[in-house]
Structure 1
Amino acid sequence: MDKNAKAIQLMQENNLEEAAKLFDEIIQENPKDPVGYINFGNLLIHINDFEHAKGFFDKAIELDEKSATAYYGLGNMYFEQEDFQNAQKNFQQAIDFGLEEADVYFMLGMTFQNQDHHKLALPYLLRATELNDTDTDILFQYGLALAQSNLIDEAKTTFENVLKMDEEHSDAHYNLGIISLYYDDAQGALHHFDRALQIQPDHVLAANGKGKVEELLNQKEN
């Protein structure tokens, strides 16, 4: 295992101090290689040292102005600070410079979601699902964006596909409960709210939904 792979493994194991030492060695040995700076920047994001992280990403871009992963790192840094416009700009730059991975499309979609531009999020979240068709988080967020864009039938199908991959996904059940209410299917809504609560007993939204449906059913019986 080379130093870079070892340092990344240490970072994934949350051994950040040892990872930092290795990344520093890598930079000292290869000061013209942007990869060391990018990895050090990613590590600094983990400890919320955004100011220094930006310096490392900027240095990587200085060395290679088309470094897609450096722009992706900057996007993550801005996203963590909830600066979604700058995050959006950098994720887009990463894609423009050839980063064709599910994560960058997903994160770009999420910048639009966090700015309440749900329809703008859709093509990026869809592309993320195409690049990684086994990630329930990506598929779920695509379903949410569909629902928030009033594409209810498509959202229903997407949430059902989430449950095919993970039948214990409480939020997918909750959203299918809401969609059932949209279709005036109180029993279907109750089923999904109950399932959400079985999986996650502290699911407040599902509990509220269940209470309202039960109240509605009681009124109909009376």
Structure 2
Amino acid sequence: MLDKNKQGIHHMQEGQYEEAAKAFTEAIEVNPKDVVAYTNFGNLLTAIADYDRAVAFFEKAIELDGEMATAYYGAGTVFYKMEQFKDAKDMFQQALQKGLNEADTYFMLAMSLYQLDQPKLALPYFQRAVELDPNDVDANFQYGISLAYTNQIEEALTVLEKTVQLDSGHADAFYNLGVAYAFKDYADKSLEMFNKALEIQPDHMLAANGKKKIEEMLKDH
């Protein structure tokens, strides 16, 4: 029942969640093996933060069709929101294996690994996310951070510079640029970046602290 699924998605996009639920329910009643309807219902339940039920719908979709990549992705998203990062990682890996080779899949797999304190493993997935969607601010920012964590400072500078080109109001990116420039002993450039972060977000404690340290260092020279 594609029409009911289409109706449901339209209602979801309009924020009409009760009507969307009704449409997906009708699709499942007409065809209890409608994998797309289960997946859509899971997405709907995720949108209203009914995570336990969302997982159940995604699992039902996967049970009916083990190749349903979007169901794995949906389940991964729910687990990530529930901070069950290992389960999230497993689901995003499955989504990739089933052919959902999209920037978001790589990004969410990378974020799951990052949350599991595995920045080195996350790195190639952030890189791929940026390759697939070069203008994604979050993907560029997280990729830059991961490069910095793995001591690839020159590369991190390049990616973080690109991040602030894409979003000139990204205080955290300017702060991290400040840290990276300080690491490379470019004190003036570092100070400039901390100041930019503070212009955007005056209560940015880390940037204020970084600025203070650089100013003290410059005073001593």
TM-score (norm 2): 0.92
Pairing of 1:60-209 with structure 2 (within 5 A): 60-209=61-210
Structure 1 position 197, deviation (Å)? 1.3
Amino acid of the structure 1 residue aligned with 2:201: Q
Tell me the SS of whatever aligns to 1:205.
helix
Return the alpha-carbon distance in structure 2 between the equivalents of residues 107 and 140 of structure 1: 14
Quote the Cα distance in structure 2 between the aligned partners of 1:9 and 1:131. 27
Whole-angstrom CA distance in 2 between matches of 1:34 and 1:150: 45
User: Alpha-carbon deviations, 1:123-151, whole Å to 9, x = none?
Assistant: 11111111111111111111111111111
What are the ranges of 5 or more consecutive residues in structure 2 without an aligned counterpart? none
Q: State the superposition RMSD in angstroms.
A: 1.8
CA offsets 1:131-180 (integer angstroms, 9 cap, x no match): 11111111111111111111111111111111222222222111110011
**Alpha-carbon distance in structure 2 between the residues aligned to 1:207 and 1:27:** 55
- Equivalent residue for 1:217? 218
Tell me: CA distance 1:121–1:24, structure 2 relative to 1, closer, same or farther (3 Å): same
2: CA distance, partners of 1:86 / 1:166? 32
In the other structure, the counterpart of 2:57 is 56
Q: TM-score, normalised by structure 1?
A: 0.92
Q: Which amino acid aligns with 1:206?
A: A
Which residue number corresponds to residue 8 of structure 2? 7
Displacement of 1:6 after TM fit? 4.2
How far has the Cα of 1:17 moved from its partner?
2.4
Q: Quick check: 198-207 or 123-132, which moved more?
A: 198-207
- Please give the alpha-carbon distance, in whole angstroms, between the structure 2 residues aligned to 1:6 and 1:160: 43
Output the amino acid matched with 1:93: Q
% same residue:
53
* Amino acid across the alignment from 2:32: P
User: Which residue does the alignment assign to 1:45?
Assistant: 46
Which residue does the alignment assign to 1:33? 34
- Residue 125 of structure 2 aligns to a residue in which SS? helix
Shift of 1:3: 4.2
Q: CA deviation at 1:182?
A: 0.4
CA distance, structure 2, for counterparts of residue 109 and residue 12 of structure 1? 27
**Which amino acid is 2:150 matched to?**
S
C-alpha separation between the residues in 2 aligned to 1:14 and 1:121?
Answer: 34
Q: For this pair of structures, how many residues does the alignment match?
A: 220
